[in-house]
């Protein structure tokens, strides 16, 4: 065996020019990604503004009657309504204004949760739909419709025509708790269902993995629960259709599909927007931990990240955002999944830029789909937006699976 040489090993000096070039490239890349995020934000704001002022339900009119002059007259009319709402005048445009705001903030929340779930689990297939969060919301709403709808104060003369004054007087007679249950009882049950199903999925996954959450097992359990709950809702629809319960069938259809047919008030915006914005701020402040998680559990732990605690925090916050969004705006299948992958294609995998881009992409995408479902289709329907997402989502899901083929486990980014 040759003796070790006492000659000191020469260490190659690092070329300062190469170091400067590398740092300059990193700064240039960061500036480019920041510009893309800004473009996404501007595009989302433009889509929201257009959703406010462009005419809706255009194809309900004869194309011969819907002339450019009528188009611009309706736009001017909508601009007057928007100005009235923004200056505190209220009026007829108030409900449309708030419906667009609810649509945009719900889409933003779902887009952010999609990217956050994928980062927390380091799994390209993770999303509110695939983890069973939306199925849990449907389960909670189903329990409310079947068991709790008759609980609490009932409006006198329900099922018959009553005047707006009578309805306002009855609402004014309620105490705060009764008023909250009348307005948000179904939403609360839907949110409780989201947390129930996610808790069961995480608990079963941890039990099988002996304290460790398997990324792919979480997806499997989420899909199993989603399929089971969908089958239960379909059975209930079939039963009540045969039994003649038309009102119950309509309510179950609304549970299954995305719909924004309810009327929104300013107190709804406070209940929806305030908690979602708080959750968004918390997730954005923690986005550097998601970047470390993307390197793998062991690498993140070696860099000081408590992997399980970070995951549980992200799951809780994102489940709350998803629960609020789908409770008020309806079930938008695969929107979080679609928005997350589109954002990743636009700005790249760095969560410093990916999460803000997901907020803008999700909000703008749902606003666009909602407007197209009202105006861009020959036959408009309040359920068309959910149908569009349900058609596009599975194809994108399959495309991601095929791209991961031969690159290792489906439970990890490659």
Task: Indicate the SS3 state at residue 381.
Answer: coil
pLDDT at residue 18 tops 80 = no
The 10s digit of each residue's pLDDT in 338-353 is: 888 888 888 888 898 9
Calpha distance 362→134 (Å, rounded): 16
- Are 75 and 54 a contacting pair, CB within 8 Å? yes
In a domain, 15, yes or no: no
pLDDT at residue 319 tops 80 = yes
Q: Token pair for residue 342?
A: 């589109």
- Are 160 and 201 a contacting pair, CB within 8 Å? no
Please give the mean pLDDT across all residues of the chain.
Answer: 77
Of the listed ranges 30-44, 88-102, 370-384, the least confidently predicted one is 370-384
Highest mean pLDDT among 12-21, 106-115, 371-380 belongs to 106-115
In a domain, 111, yes or no: yes
CA distances from 381 to 51, 122, 281, 330 (A): 16, 37, 34, 14
Of the listed ranges 20-29, 206-215, 251-260, 369-378, the least confidently predicted one is 251-260
Q: Please give the average per-residue pLDDT across 311-340, as a whole number.
A: 85
pLDDT at residue 410 tops 50 = no
In a domain, 165, yes or no: no
Q: Please give the average per-residue pLDDT across 44-66, as a whole number.
A: 73
Calpha distance 221→245 (Å, rounded): 33
In a domain, 242, yes or no: yes
Q: Token pair for residue 40?
A: 């996404």
Q: Which residues of 272-304 are buried (b: 16+ CB within 10 A; e: fewer)?
A: bbeebeebbeebbebbebbbbbbeebeebeeee
Please indicate whether residue 248 or residue 5 has the higher confidence score (pLDDT): 248
Return the pLDDT at 40. 92
Calpha distance 384→367 (Å, rounded): 13
pLDDT at residue 279 tops 60 = yes
pLDDT at residue 41 tops 90 = yes
- Are 206 and 221 a contacting pair, CB within 8 Å? no
pTM of the model: 0.81
In a domain, 187, yes or no: yes
Q: Which residue has the tokens 């749902």?
A: 366
Return the pLDDT at 414. 47
Nearest CA-CA partner of 276 in 104, 136, 94, 77: 104
Rounded to a whole number of angstroms, the distance between the first and last alpha carbons of the chain is 43
Q: Which residues of 369-392 are buried (b: 16+ CB within 10 A; e: fewer)?
A: bbbebbbeeeebebbbbbbbbbeb
Calpha distance 43→357 (Å, rounded): 11
Binning pLDDT at 50, 70 and 90, where does residue 335 land? confident
Find the angle CA(306)-CA(311)-CA(314) to the nearest 5 degrees: 125
Return the pLDDT at 127. 84
Q: Please give the average per-residue pLDDT across 250-268, as a whole number.
A: 67
Return the pLDDT at 43. 93
Task: Indicate the SS3 state at residue 55.
Answer: coil
Binning pLDDT at 50, 70 and 90, where does residue 141 land? confident
In a domain, 9, yes or no: no
Q: Which residues pair with 258 in a beta bridge?
A: 330
Torsion angles phi and psi, residue 258, rounded to 5: -70, 130
Q: Find the domain containing 396 and state its range.
A: 30-149+174-404
* CATH code of the domain covering residue 226: 1.10.3470.10
In a domain, 64, yes or no: yes
Return the pLDDT at 174. 75
In a domain, 392, yes or no: yes
Number of domains in the chain: 1
The 10s digit of each residue's pLDDT in 150-204 is: 766 666 655 555 666 666 677 777 777 877 787 788 888 888 999 999 889 888 8
Return the pLDDT at 280. 94
Within 54-175, residue ranges assigned H as helices are: 68-86, 94-121, 133-143, 164-172
Q: Which residues have C-beta within 8 Å of that of residue 371, sequence separation ≥ 6?
A: 47, 50, 51, 54, 56
Please indicate whether residue 205 or residue 240 has the higher confidence score (pLDDT): 205
């Amino acid at each position: 065996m040759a003796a070790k040489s006492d000659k000191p090993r020469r260490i190659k000096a690092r070329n300062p020019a190469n170091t400067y070039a590398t740092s300059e490239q990193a700064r240039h890349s960061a500036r480019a990604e920041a510009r893309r995020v800004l473009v996404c934000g501007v595009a989302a704001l433009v889509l929201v503004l257009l959703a406010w002022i462009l005419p809706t339900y255009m194809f309900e009119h004869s194309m011969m009657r819907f002339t450019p002059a009528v188009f611009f007259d309706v736009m001017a009319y909508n601009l007057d309504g928007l100005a009235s709402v923004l200056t505190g005048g209220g009026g007829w445009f108030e409900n449309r204004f708030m419906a667009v705001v609810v649509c945009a903030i719900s889409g933003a929340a779902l887009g952010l949760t999609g990217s956050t779930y994928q980062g927390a689990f380091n799994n390209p297939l993770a999303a509110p739909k695939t983890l069973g969060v939306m199925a849990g919301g449907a389960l909670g709403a189903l329990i409310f419709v079947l068991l709790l709808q008759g609980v609490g104060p009932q409006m006198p003369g329900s099922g018959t025509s009553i005047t707006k004054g009578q309805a306002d007087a009855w609402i004014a007679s309620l105490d705060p708790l009764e008023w909250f249950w009348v307005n948000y009882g179904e939403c609360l049950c839907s949110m409780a269902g989201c947390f129930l199903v996610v808790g069961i999925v995480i608990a079963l996954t941890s039990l099988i993995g002996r304290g460790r959450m398997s990324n792919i097992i979480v997806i499997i359990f989420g899909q199993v629960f989603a399929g089971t709950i969908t089958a239960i809702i379909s059975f209930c629809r079939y039963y009540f259709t045969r039994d003649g319960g038309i009102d119950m069938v309509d309510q179950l259809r609304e549970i299954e599909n995305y719909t924004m047919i309810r009327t929104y008030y300013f107190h709804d915006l406070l209940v929806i927007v305030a908690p979602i914005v708080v959750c968004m701020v918390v997730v954005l402040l923690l986005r550097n931990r998601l970047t470390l998680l993307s390197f793998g559990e062991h690498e993140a732990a070696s860099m000081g990240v408590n992997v399980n605690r970070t995951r549980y925090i992200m799951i809780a916050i994102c489940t709350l955002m998803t629960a609020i969004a789908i409770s008020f705006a309806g079930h938008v299948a695969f929107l979080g999944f679609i928005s997350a992958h589109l954002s990743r294609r636009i700005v790249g995998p760095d969560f410093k830029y990916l999460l803000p881009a997901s907020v803008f992409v999700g909000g703008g995408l749902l606003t666009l789909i909602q407007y197209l479902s009202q105006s861009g289709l020959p036959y408009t329907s309040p359920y068309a937006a959910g149908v569009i997402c349900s058609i596009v989502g599975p194809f994108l899901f399959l495309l991601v699976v095929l791209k991961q083929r031969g690159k290792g486990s489906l439970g990890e980014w490659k």
